[in-house]
Amino acid sequence: MDRYTSMRVFVQAASRGSLSAAGRTLGISPAMATKHVDALEARFGVKLLHRTTRGLSLTDPGREYLEGCQRILQDLDEVESDISAQRQEAKGRLRVNVPLSFGLRFIAPLIPGFTERYPMVDVELGLSDSRHNLFDGSWDLIFRVGYLADSDLRARRLGDSPMKVCASPDYLAKHGTPQRVSDLSSHNCLSYTLSPFQSKGFWAFGHHGDIEVPVKGNLRADNGDALMAAAIRGQGIIYQPEFIVADALVNGELISLSLDHPPLEPGGLYVLFSPDRRLPLKVRAMIDYLVEVFSAEIQE
Looking at the predicted structure, is the pLDDT value of residue 132 above 70? no
DSSP state of 222: S
Between 67-71, 140-144, 148-152, 169-173, the lowest mean confidence (pLDDT) is in: 148-152
Beta-strand pair 267-273/141-146: antiparallel
Domain ranges of the chain: 3-85, 92-153+269-299, 163-256
Average pLDDT (172-194) is: 96
Classify 234 as helix, strand or coil.
coil
Give the model's pLDDT for residue 280.
Answer: 84
Query: How many percent of the chain have pLDDT more than 70?
Result: 92
For residue 298, pLDDT over 50 is answered with no
Q: Span 295-300, mean pLDDT?
A: 58
* d(C-alpha 154, C-alpha 248), whole Å: 34
Say how far apart CA 77 and CA 71 lie, in whole Å.
10
pLDDT digits (tens, 9 = 90+) for 10-27: 999 998 889 999 999 999
pLDDT at position 151, please? 66
Give the pairing of strands 237-241 and 189-192: parallel
Domains 3-85 and 92-153+269-299 share a fold: no
Contacts of 103 (CB under 8 A, 6+ apart): 125, 127, 143
In CATH, the architecture of 3-85 is Orthogonal Bundle (1.10)
Nearest CA to 64 out of 46, 78, 81 is that of 46
For residue 210, give every residue at least 6 positions away whose Cβ sits within 8 Å of its Cβ, in sequence order, or none. Answer: 204
Mean pLDDT of 112-119: 94
| CA-based nearest residue to 218, from 187, 238, 188 | 188
Separation between Cα atoms, residue 223 and residue 44, nearest integer Å: 63
CATH superfamily of domain region 92-153+269-299: Periplasmic binding protein-like II (3.40.190.10)
Mean pLDDT to the nearest integer, 196-221? 91
* CA atoms within a 13 Å half-sphere pointing along the CA-CB vector of 247: 6
As its CATH architecture, domain 163-256 has 3-Layer(aba) Sandwich (3.40)
Residues contacting residue 21 through CB under 8 Å, at least 6 positions apart: 12, 13
DSSP state of 188: B
Residue 177: Cβ-neighbour burial (10 angstroms; 0-12, 13-18, 19+) = middle
